Amino acid sequence: MSVNIQRNSLFLGLSAMFYFLLLLSPFTLLGTVLAEDQAPLQEPLGTVIGIDLGTTYSCVGVMQKGKVEILVNDQGHRITPSYVAFTDEERLVGDAAKNQAAANPKRTIFDIKRLIGRKFDDKDLQNDMKHFPFDVVNDKGKPAVEVEVNGSPKRFTPEEVSAMILGKMKEVAESYLGNKVTHAVVTVPAYFNDNQRQATKDAGAIAGLNVLRIVNEPTAAAIAYGLDKTEGERQIIVYDLGGGTFDVSLLSIDRGVFEVLATAGDTHLGGEDFDQRVINFFAKKYNKENNVDISKDLKTMGKLKREAEKAKRTLSSQKTTRIEIEAFHNGNDFSETLTRAKFEELNIDLFRKTLEPVKQVLSDAKVKKSEIDDIVLVGGSTRIPKVVELIEEYFSGKKASKGINPDEAVAFGAAVQGGVLSGEEGTEDLVLMDVNPLTLGIETTGGVMTKLIPRNTVIPTHKSQIFSTAADNQADKAKKERIDARNGLENYVFSLKNQVADKEGLGGKIEDSDKETLEEAIKQASAWLEESGSEATAEDFEEQKEKLSSVAYPITSKMYNAAGEASGEDEPEKHDEL
């Protein structure tokens, strides 16, 4: 039975008369928890960090002794650019990558969150590709970034690039804590679908992190806002406008109990879109005045992108700003004035577009505007005065709360959730009830979707319904077994490949000859999947998995046995199961 969760539905092939049970759990879909599910895990985890993996900036926090600390990176900044770059000598992540972006546009990757979990032919992705200076290629229907590394082209999946950013956040936390970090809570936009959520978890695994929970960003921000609220039940709107995504959630908070009533959003709307409007305006103006076309000059466009973002930030506190760029194009300088009024004119339709999800959550939750106690603004783009003006105007002049840092609130909430899971003091009475943001259902004859679990249903939940097959003798069971077997082999190859590449783990502890043997076996298994995977049976996949295991098991066993002997009576070093 083939299961594929799309943005609005769960497609499932029908089998001979069966009883359908769909169980949503916080482990698999939203990563949020009810009271009985969020007790500290029995196995000691050490410190669980909270990571806000943002489109433009990322942030990491940790909860210790009842207090949350947002950590600073090696540049002394509390937020880190979600940038990855490759030079002739090294790989750069964060501030170092962003600082050289204009000079190295083809090999500097950003906005990777807009690629993760999407298909290559996604309309939004195709539009983004027109503005990316780096190359995005079709890799079996999924996007991949192709850059030059050591003189030859190399492809990276969105998960791999995201893993580099998560790895940077992991390093920041380890530097602060003084010990290795292996567990994390990672946030995603509330309107991310299952593919995007799973891809984010995969990125964590590549980075060497066990992602214990995937938490919705506005829900995490609500925790940050309401953690110290003790004055009784309050209904709050969390308006989360970041660099690349937008979410709105309506929650009820009552003495440590956080209940999400409704959520809505747009996974492709944020500060990057505002920047692009400014870039397009000035590029068009410069082209017309100088009779040139700078849109194909990646370095020139990179300089303009850098300065457009700076100008946007300046206009949050000033009415006007100058954009000055020396040696902008063909040795000519660039000098223009941008006013706040012009910036608002260029983006007013996008600003107003953010009010639609606000109206939707109020309608879904059957709550009146007048019943909202607090408006919580999250995300760097909520510093734009016009955005604040529009949301306050919509709520009849009610002032938005200024009580939390919009850049750090999501990481703060994720760190609190990490504290809950690791049993930190001060989290005993915290209860979080989230919802399923997208309707789930089953595809029936004719491609019609039968809804089973409507959006905004509190999870965990379940729904049972009986379906009959459209034709006799449908062989869906065999199809499901084949898919499960293929997934099992692919996951095993992927896991083994990452462990061999981990210089601090398996890859750095086995002998070179054993490492070469493993790499060759992995290469053969991958090649077999490429050549025969489309026609192979479940038995074929199982046979290949057993073949790979017969090579890997003796090598790993030898390593762990040696480690056990070296440590005498001490327990053998903990290791991941292959």
CATH at 294: 3.90.640.10
Cβ proximity of 250 and 222 under 8 Å: no
CATH of the domain at 206: 3.30.420.40
Q: List Cα–Cα distances, 36 to 32, 108, 185, 415, 524, in angstroms.
A: 12, 44, 18, 19, 45
Confirm if 343 and 305 have CB atoms less than 8 A apart. Answer: no
User: How far apart are alpha carbons 431 and 426 in whole angstroms?
Assistant: 12
Is 217 part of any domain? yes
Q: pLDDT category, 378, cuts 50, 70, 90?
A: very high
pLDDT at 483: 86
Question: Is the bond into 460 cis (omega within 30 degrees of 0)?
Answer: yes
Cα separation, 375 vs 249, whole angstroms: 10
- Is 275 in the active site? no
Among 253-257, 556-560, 571-575, the least confident range: 571-575
- For range 126-144, the mean pLDDT: 94
Q: What is the model's pLDDT at position 564?
A: 56
Residue 451 belongs to a domain: no
Q: Among the options 95, 98, 111, 113, which is catalytic? A: 113
Mean predicted confidence (pLDDT) in 436-464 = 86
Q: Which of 95, 128, 159, 217 is catalytic?
A: 217
Which tokens belong to 415? 């760190």
Q: Is residue 526 part of a domain?
A: yes
Domain boundary among 159, 188, 204: 159
Same domain, 210 and 343: no
Residues 62 and 94 in one domain: no
| Structure tokens belonging to residue 248 | 């709105």
User: Are 483 and 562 found together in one domain?
Assistant: yes
Of all residues in the chain, what percent carry a pLDDT higher than 90?
Answer: 61
576 within a domain of the structure (yes/no): no
Cite the DSSP H helix spans in 366-511.
Answer: 385-394, 409-422, 476-501
239 in a structural domain: no
Residue 396, in any domain of the structure? no
Work out the pLDDT band at 293, boundaries 50, 70, 90: very high
Single out the residue of 86, 185, 99, 101 nearest to residue 145, CA to CA.
86
Strands 108-109 and 84-86: antiparallel
Q: 300 and 154: one domain?
A: no
User: How large is the C-alpha radius of gyration of the chain?
Assistant: 25
Tell me: pLDDT of 575 over 70. no
User: How many whole angstroms separate alpha carbon 425 and alpha carbon 428?
Assistant: 7
pTM over 0.85: no
pLDDT(118) > 80: yes
Mark whether 145 and 180 lie in a shared domain.
Answer: no
User: Once rounded to an integer, what is the mean pLDDT over residues 384-397?
Assistant: 97
Looking at the domain assignment, is residue 16 inside a domain? no
DSSP 56-89: SEEEEEEEETTEEEEPP-TTS-SSEE--EEE-SS
**Is 353 designated active site?**
no
- What pLDDT was estimated at residue 17? 35
According to the per-residue pLDDT averaged within each range, which of 99-103, 148-152, 452-456 is highest?
99-103
Q: Find the domain containing 124 and state its range.
A: 80-159
| Shared-domain flag, residues 337 and 198 | no
Which carries the bigger pLDDT value, residue 345 or residue 509?
Answer: 345
Worst-scoring range by mean pLDDT, 10-14, 437-441, 474-478? 10-14
Mean pLDDT of 430-443: 84
User: Closest by alpha carbon to 341, among 325, 327, 357, 320?
Assistant: 320
Identified catalytic residue from 111, 159, 194, 240: 240
Q: What are phi and psi of 3, to 5 degrees?
A: -115, 125
Boundary of a domain, candidates 159, 185, 216? 159
- Please say which residue of 131, 159, 187 terminates a domain: 159
Q: Are residues 168 and 71 in the same domain?
A: yes
Does any domain span residue 131? yes
74 and 203 inside one domain: yes
What pLDDT is stored for residue 565 in this prediction?
A: 55
Instruction: Verify that 86 and 104 share a domain, yes or no.
Output: yes
The pLDDT mean for the chain works out to 86
- So what's the pLDDT on residue 44? 61
Reported as a single tens digit per residue, the pLDDT across 6-15 is 333 333 343 3
Q: Residue 558 has what pLDDT?
A: 76
What pLDDT digit, counting tens, does each position of 22-70 carry? 333 333 333 333 444 444 444 567 799 999 999 999 999 999 988 999 9
Give the pLDDT score at 494: 85
Per the annotation, the verdict on 373 as an active-site residue is no
Question: Which one of the listed residues 52, 297, 374, 424 is annotated catalytic?
Answer: 52
Residue type, 231: E
The reported pLDDT for the residue numbered 569 is 47
Number of domains making up the chain: 4
| Same-domain status, 57 and 200 | yes
With cut-offs at 50, 70 and 90, classify the pLDDT of residue 403: confident
- 3-state secondary structure at position 49: strand
Same domain, 115 and 144: yes
Catalytic residue list contains 305:
no
- What's the rounded Cα separation, in Å, for the pair 538 and 485? 5
Return the pLDDT at 566. Answer: 53
Kindly state whether residues 105 and 204 are assigned to the same domain.
no
